[in-house]
Amino acid sequence: MSVFGALFYVISNNITPIFVCVAIFLLARWLTQPKDPWILPPGPFAWPIIGNLNKIMPKEGDNSGARRVLEIARQYKTDILSFKIGSTQAIVLRKFADVKEAFSKDEFTFVNPTGPVKFIAPGIIGTDGAQWKEQRRFALSTLRDFGLGKNKAQDIIQEELQKVVETFNERGGQPFNSKTLICNMVSNIICSLIFGHRFDYDDKTFQRILFCSDQIMNSSMRYIILGYLLPIWIKNIIPGDLFRIEYAKSLMSEIKRDIILKKYKEHVAHYSDDESRDYMDAFIKEMKTHKSKGKEHWFTEEQLLDNVVDLFFAGTDTSTTIIRWLFLYMANYQEIQEQVRAEIQDVLGDGRLPTMTDKQNMPFTEATILEVMRKQPVAELLYTRHTSDDATEFKGFLLPPRTLVIPNIYAIMNDPDHWTEPEKFNPLRFIGEDGQMIKDDHVLSFSIGKRQCLGEPLARMELFLFFVGIMQKFRIEIPPGREAPLKVELGSGVDTPVISELCFIGIE
């Protein structure tokens, strides 16, 4: 018998005592560790290795765990909860004022260099310090120059809107799942700004980008996060690719190597200093400028590939999910849908395409968008922010270096101290006595503070123009004899709705 065979025989025949010995050793090691100097908020007992991960595993009615975490905070009578995600120390904030204060500070703008965010969004979102500031500043400036500060983005969105209207008309009001179509139109906006052109919806390269993105951001996201939060030695002893990290890495490499890099080489071949057509051209120009300066910078080919991954993933997933929720809510709330359509037709009639100048004349439509965003946040718990490498003081607590700071977006969006009857779907909560929109910063769909989503202006433009354009042309209904529940897909990486077929019936 080989050494490995003998070892397997011994272990398999003594599994219970071995497990008990290992458990006792880990518990003893955990109990005898020296007391930390940190002053932490109150929180639940954290198990060795897993911490409090058992509290946030997907559960029917609470996919993210945000509701259970909120209930724990209430039990401990605290607005700031101590929590352990695997071996990572975290705090959970459930009040808007605390989130706003924390995220306005430089000490809370860091990311874990070995965490899941660095892997999933390696360009801008997954960096910090001087690199993050440089790349974020450039991205904000470039996106503004190539669309957000002009009519270019609006023109691109209107073009996609017309393509979608054509597709809906071809369906003839028959039930279908619009997820792929919505993802196509949102993704093409990003492609137009980054690459300088849109793709046909059946283009093989385009479809491959969307497939890889969906596999990483939805099908594999929860596994990836769990894998990165567990201790390294635990991951190393588990055979195979249980956490789908290697699978996601292969998809990420494919996107960079076979798609983005090819586009980059095409841009280099046709580059001209006299014309910047899109984000890639602007980045290449910065690469040439900084190369001659000799100062530290991150305008490199690898950084460009990482940035494009960031912009594509972040720019597609959030807007796609919100639009899907919008359609689903309209199908379930026919009276609200009719009020929205009446306002749209009063302003636009049946023919003219919507523009952003119409927004101020459609307060109820805008209020409906906001209320759906409040009721169905895309990410109810955010795992992107960490404190710095130094101890951090906050609200009387002393936090360890690189503490994970988690805002409970669900708790904030349903805080009874701020919202009247938060459990109800009521767009009128955003309408003042004068009939105009009431701005409310508590709707945190795009986060807040120094790391607020840089694509928020583009996303809000997409949401308004797509929603208005579709509601102008179609009545959305649940197919007879079927259901389209307002439920989250259990186990999804972000809180996406369960797959439902809807009817988009053309309005004569």
Q: Give the CATH number, domain containing residue 461.
A: 1.10.630.10
Query: Would you give the DSSP letter of residue 39?
Result: B
Structural domain contains residue 70: no
Q: What's the confidence (pLDDT) of residue 403?
A: 96
C-alpha 285/C-alpha 287 separation (Å) is 5
- Cα-only R_g, the chain: 25
503 is in an annotated binding site: no
> Taking the chain, what is the end-to-end CA distance rounded to the nearest angstrom?
80
Give the model's pLDDT for residue 460: 94
Q: What is the DSSP string of 252-279?
A: HHHIIIIIIHHHHHHHHHT-BTTB--SH
Residue of 127, 96, 106 whose CA lies nearest to 448: 96
pLDDT of residue 114: 80
CA atoms 65, 67, 69, 71: torsion sign = negative
Is there a domain that residue 89 lies in?
no
The pLDDT score that the predictor gives to residue 6 is 42
Q: Please give the backbone phi and psi of residue 2, each rounded to the nearest 5 degrees, phi first.
A: -70, 165
Expressed as residue numbers, the domain containing 166 is: 113-376+436-506
pTM: 0.90
Q: Return the pLDDT at 1.
A: 43
Residue 27 lies in a domain: no
Residue 429 φ/ψ, nearest 5 degrees: -65, -20
The pLDDT score that the predictor gives to residue 224 is 85
Return the closest-CA partner of residue 340 out of 464, 166, 458, 487.
Answer: 464
Q: Decide if 393 is inside a domain.
A: no
User: Does a structural domain hold residue 64?
Assistant: no
CA distance 161 to 183: 12
Confirm whether 309 is domain-assigned. yes
Whether residue 66 is contained in a domain is answered as: no
69 is a domain residue = no
- Number of independent structural domains in the chain: 1
Q: Per-residue pLDDT tens, the chain, 508 aa: give them.
A: 443 344 344 445 556 665 666 677 667 666 666 567 899 999 999 998 889 999 998 899 999 999 999 999 999 999 999 999 888 899 999 999 999 999 999 999 999 888 888 888 889 999 999 999 999 999 999 988 876 655 788 999 999 999 999 999 999 999 999 999 999 999 999 999 999 999 999 999 999 999 998 898 888 887 888 787 777 777 778 888 888 888 999 999 999 999 999 999 999 999 998 888 899 999 999 999 888 777 789 999 999 999 999 998 888 889 999 999 999 999 999 999 999 999 999 999 868 999 999 999 999 999 999 999 999 999 999 888 999 999 999 999 999 999 999 999 999 999 999 999 999 999 999 999 999 999 999 999 999 999 999 889 999 999 999 999 999 999 999 999 999 999 999 887 789 999 899 999 998 7
